[in-house]
Amino acid sequence: MATNRWWRGAVIYQIYPRSFLDTNGDGIGDLPGIIDKLDYVASLGVDAIWISPFFKSPMADFGYDIADYRDVDPLFGTLEDFDRLLAKAHRLGLKVMIDQVLSHTSIEHDWFRQSRESRDGDKADWYVWADARPDGTPPNNWLSIFGGVAWQWEPRRGQYFLHNFLASQPDLNFHHPDVRAAQLDNVKFWLDRGVDGMRLDAINFCFHDEQLRDNPPKPAELRTGRGFSPDNPYAFQYHWHNNTQPENLGFLEDLRALMDRYPDVAALGEISSEDSLATTAEYVGDRRLHMGYSFELLTDDCSAAYVRNTVETLEAKMPHGWPCWAISNHDVRRAVTRWGGDAADDALARQLIALVCSLRGSVCLYQGEELGLPEADVPYEQLQDPYGIAFWPTFKGRDGCRTPMPWNGGAQASFSEGSPWLPVPAAHRERSVARQECDPSSVLHATRRFLRWRHGQPALVEGDIRFLDTPEPVLAFVRRGGGQSLLAVFNLSADDVEWTLPPECTIAYVKDGHGLQEGRIDARRLRLPPRGCFYACLG
């Protein structure tokens, strides 16, 4: 079907439903809460929302362990609530993307309950089962991202099952054609309901090596896996066999063929492999995913050289595919803390939104990013994330980026009339929506001004990108497209810097109206304040 490619250059606002707004007083956000705040989301100037899982689940991994792909968990509401959400979002001009967790299910999914009962039956081979070694140990050395071996013994079958994540998240066997067909049918269920796109969780984990070969060891100096606890053994291996198998490409093509039967829908893949940029380039294209994103800008490295190298590497590998960039999400420490330290820095918060929204590609902004929220320090006794509980105190897990949205400065921040599932820190209440609405210089208003301004810059929405040679901490690039050539320069430090523009950059006029800390130019000498930005049209 024809498509208007709304997703190219789109700004997608991620909603973590547990923490957005609770309307029934149980301390957990819900779909009616999202409906209630959609006007706020639309006021930001974003193009779409991505809603993290709200499907029926025992919530061992807070919805990423699905027990029923086609129903809403009662914690979040009903299918009718989702339909109301979809209708209101569309009335407001917002596209709606939902999470699809295809590679694994919950142990409470009916498929798994049938599969574990015996080695015979319709669902016997729907999951990855393997016999023990002669000494009773697991069939190979594969490890789980959440720590420990990736195999769990199941006495009913007398076999191990594979789980790349929690032991309560068994991996589906995508080598079985019925599994692939069933998951495509689950995707079709939501496309038929009218969603505009899918965010595909851990999409490179669908297939495993059928030979179950051991993963080779990784040298100690290379054990720097993104987002992992420093003492997580997962980083001790090259994960060549438990994910990112060549058979996955055929499944992506089948998925794309299904989605191409619907107008104006898009697939965004989350990709984390040994070479995520190379895998993204392989997975994104006319016959596969519309967009892909990885964790490369979700790290602690905030140098100009790192950002440039990351983007240029993907550009070289994927010159015709469409990337999507994110600097925050529900799995990593909030960006202003990762890149700015413990002291909250509103100037940095404004700059980070401008930076990620100026790169070639689409953008995912995480709820609260528009408020400049820092990482919350959740005490051990209030942790919910099993990942953080297991690796405390060297790694505190993901709760610190998942605390409830602060709608006002009250004790519960108007998130809930009950006790929130995670605490709302004072530092977040001080940056509440209500407080920032009253301050024209707030991060919230700066976000709105910048996104409104960005919509009028065709080079930023769909243009190409070329980086300029700059010294640290200056990052500079040129975006060209739609009859516009736009220079973007960022000072990634908390100090004043100066940079002389190269002869190739002939400035026609400086672009203002974006509401950021602006640099000033005099005789080709650009002066940038701390966390400053500069945009100019080139002649």
Contact 418, 15 (CB under 8 A): no
Q: Does pTM surpass 0.85?
A: yes
Residue of 81, 270, 282, 399 marked active site: 270
**Mean pLDDT, contiguous 10-residue spans, the chain (539 residues):** 82 98 98 98 98 98 98 98 98 98 98 96 97 98 96 97 98 98 98 98 98 96 68 92 98 98 97 96 96 94 96 96 97 96 90 98 98 97 95 92 97 96 97 98 97 97 97 98 97 96 93 90 94 96
Contact 268, 289 (CB under 8 A): yes
For each of the domains in the chain, give its residue range(s) and CATH number, in order of start. Answer: 11-105+176-452 (3.20.20.80), 463-538 (2.60.40.1180)
Contact 468, 477 (CB under 8 A): yes
Collapsing DSSP to helix, strand or coil, 109 comes out as coil
Contacts of 91 (CB under 8 A, 6+ apart): none
At 537 the pLDDT is 96
Contacts of 358 (CB under 8 A, 6+ apart): 454, 460, 477, 479, 488
**pLDDT tens track for 452-508:** 999 999 999 999 999 999 999 999 999 999 999 999 999 999 999 999 999 989 999
Point out which residues pair with 486 in neighbouring strands: 479, 537
Question: What is the rounded CA–CA span in Å between residue 60 and residue 393?
Answer: 21
- Based on the number of CB atoms within 10 Å of its own CB, is 518 exposed (0-12), middle (13-18) or buried (19 or more)? middle
Collapsing DSSP to helix, strand or coil, 305 comes out as helix
Residue of 201, 315, 345, 385 marked active site: 201
Strands 533-538, 159-162: parallel, antiparallel or unpaired by DSSP? unpaired
At 523 the pLDDT is 87
Contacts of 222 (CB under 8 A, 6+ apart): none
201 a catalytic residue? yes
**pLDDT tens track for 122-145:** 999 999 999 999 999 999 999 999
Contact 446, 475 (CB under 8 A): no
Radius of gyration for the alpha carbons in the chain, expressed in angstroms and rounded? 23
At 382 the pLDDT is 97
